[in-house]
């Protein structure tokens, strides 16, 4: 998770799909996988629609209605800002049932507010956690990122609440 503040103007809101995380050692550029934002300190959710890159159809040839929508009018900016010598990585998510499984990349639209405090989530390879990361907006580096790596196993707790 990466936490940042975004400021934009009402005519040019932040394009969340243009935010990426670059592993400069392993030459991998990760797309944004999830976003939770707020427009103020308490109770002001800053929403950003999420879209599928692939249109899915049911057996009758009609577009499916579950999961994020497919909308070709909403631009995905991730590939517009590829970096020479760096491999783009945009993971596909699975939708549907085991019998009718489909997969698609997802992307986010514009931030709903001109001021956003956000938690940004990227899916990165576990073996590369201790690497050098840089956060980009479009083609501009905005921060160096270092992840805290927990080397001890996570503790588990008994969650049996029955009496």
Tens of pLDDT along 67-83? 899 999 999 999 999 99
Domain contains 52: yes
pLDDT band for position 59 (cuts 50, 70, 90): confident
Answer whether residue 32 is part of any domain.
yes
Domain contains 21: yes
pTM (2 decimals)?
A: 0.82
Sheet with 50-52: list strands edge to edge: 50-52, 102-108, 92-95
Gyration radius of the chain's alpha carbons:
18
How many structural domains comprise the chain?
Answer: 1
Cβ atoms of 31 and 107 within 8 Å: the answer is yes
Tokens 């934002």 correspond to 37
Look up the domain containing 107 and give its range.
Answer: 2-145
């Amino acid at each position: 998770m990466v936490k940042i503040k975004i400021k934009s103007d009402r005519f040019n809101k932040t394009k969340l799909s243009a935010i990426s995380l670059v592993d400069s050692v392993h030459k991998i550029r990760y797309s944004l996988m999830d976003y939770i934002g707020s427009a103020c300190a308490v109770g002001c959710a800053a929403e950003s629609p999420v879209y599928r890159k692939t249109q899915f159809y049911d057996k009758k040839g009609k577009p499916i209605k579950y999961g994020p929508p497919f909308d070709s009018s909403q631009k995905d900016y991730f590939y517009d800002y590829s970096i020479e010598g760096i491999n783009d990585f945009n993971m596909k998510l699975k939708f549907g049932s085991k019998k009718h499984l489909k997969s698609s990349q997802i992307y986010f639209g514009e931030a709903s507010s001109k001021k956003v405090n956000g938690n940004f989530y990227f899916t990165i390879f576990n073996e590369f956690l201790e690497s050098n990361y840089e956060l980009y907006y479009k083609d501009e580096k905005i921060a160096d990122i270092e992840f805290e790596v927990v080397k001890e196993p996570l503790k588990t707790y008994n969650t049996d609440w029955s009496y």
